[in-house]
Amino acid sequence: MTLQGSKMFGDLWKRKDWKMRINTLCLAVLLVCFYSMAAAEKIRVDSGVTFEDFSYADLGHTEWVQAVVPASPRLSLLGRVTVIRRFQESDFQGTVGGSLRVGAKTGLEGEMSVSPGARIAPRFSTSWSLYRALATVEIMPHYRFSRYETTDVHLFAMGVLWPITRSFQGIGRAYVSATSFHNGPTEWNPAFLLQGRFILNSRFTIIPSYSFYRESFEAGAPDQTRRFSAHVGRIETRHRTSSAFLVRIAWEYEGRSTSQSVGRYDLGIQYQW
C-alpha cells in the first residue's frame, strides 16, 4: 500500500462520520437477528432505506427494520428500530406497537416510539388508527402525538379506501395538525393525500400519489415562527418476487414554497412466511 493510500484510509476514520459507519454496522447486525428470529418464529420482517436529496443541505438517509409477530388470530405485535441521519445529526429510534382485530370488519392499530435526546426525530410519539369496513368503502380515523425538542405536534386524520374495481383502489386522507411551540403559540396546519393503487397482476402493483401539507417552524427567536407549504408527488412500485419476498421501490419529489426541494428514493424488502 502506498503512503498516499495509507493516508486516505486513515483520514476516512478520522472524519466525524465514523459514528455513521458504526450505526450502519449495528443496524445490519439487528437486521440479521430479525431475519433469524423470523425463520424460527414464522413472523414477517420488513426493512428499508430512504435517501433524501435536499437542495439546501447534504444528503440524508434513514434505515429501518421491523418485525410483526402474529401473537394470535386477532392480535399482532410490532417492533421497529430506525436510524435517521440528516443535517449532520444522527438519531436512533425504537418503536413497539400492535394491531387488534375487534370484529370481522373493525380493527385497531397503535404504536409508541422513543428517541431520547433526539434532535431531528420526535423524542416521543404515539399513534392510533381505527379501520372500519363499510358496505363499499373503508374509513380510517387516525391520531398521532409527537414531542420534538422544541414543539409538540397533534395530528388528526380521516382516511377513506375505496375499491373502485378489482384492479384499482382509491385512497384519500385529510389531515389537520396543531403545532404547539414550547416557547410560543400554537398553530394549525392542513394537509391531504390522494393515492391510487393499480393492481396489474398478483405480482405487480403501481401506486402514484399526490399530497399537500403546510408546516410551522421556529425562525430565529424562540417566540418567532414561520410557515411553508409543500406539494409532493410520489410513484411507488411493488413487486412480489415469490410467495415470501416483496420488493418496494419508490421515488418522491417535494417542492416547497421557500423555493427549496427534496428528492427521496426508497428501497424496501419484505419477507413473510
pLDDT score, position 6: 46
Residue 159's nearest CA partner among 147, 150, 170 is 170
CA angle 258, 262, 268 (to 5 degrees): 155
Q: Which fold has domain 3-271?
A: Porin (2.40.160)
- What are 142-157's pLDDT values in tens digits? 999 999 988 999 999 9
pLDDT score, position 157: 96
More confident residue, 247 or 27: 247
pLDDT higher than 50, residue 93: yes
- Element (H or E) spanning 19, and its range? helix 18-41
pLDDT higher than 90, residue 108: yes
pLDDT, averaged across the chain: 84
- What are 222-270's pLDDT values in tens digits? 667 888 999 999 999 999 987 788 999 999 999 999 889 999 999 999 9
pLDDT score, position 41: 53
Residue 238's nearest CA partner among 208, 202, 205, 190 is 205
Distance CA 175, CA 156 (A): 6
pLDDT score, position 71: 86
Distance CA 129, CA 100 (A): 11
Distance CA 267, CA 50 (A): 7
pLDDT score, position 104: 73
Which cell is 143 given? Answer: 391520531
pLDDT score, position 9: 41
Distance CA 171, CA 199 (A): 14
pLDDT score, position 172: 96
pLDDT higher than 90, residue 134: no
More confident residue, 37 or 210: 210
Average pLDDT over every residue of 8-28: 48
Which cell is 263 given? Answer: 428528492
Instruction: Name the CA dihedral angle for 217, 222, 223, 229, rounded to a multiple of 10 degrees.
Output: -10
Average pLDDT over every residue of 79-95: 92
Placement of cell 438517509 in the chain: 61
Residue 121's nearest CA partner among 191, 182, 60 is 60
pLDDT higher than 50, residue 48: yes
- Element (H or E) spanning 177, and its range? strand 168-181
Distance CA 55, CA 52 (A): 10
For 160, other C-beta atoms within 10 Å of its C-beta total 14
- Element (H or E) spanning 34, and its range? helix 18-41
* Domain boundaries of the chain, sorted by first residue: 3-271
pLDDT higher than 70, residue 31: no
pLDDT higher than 60, residue 21: no
Average pLDDT over every residue of 159-163: 92
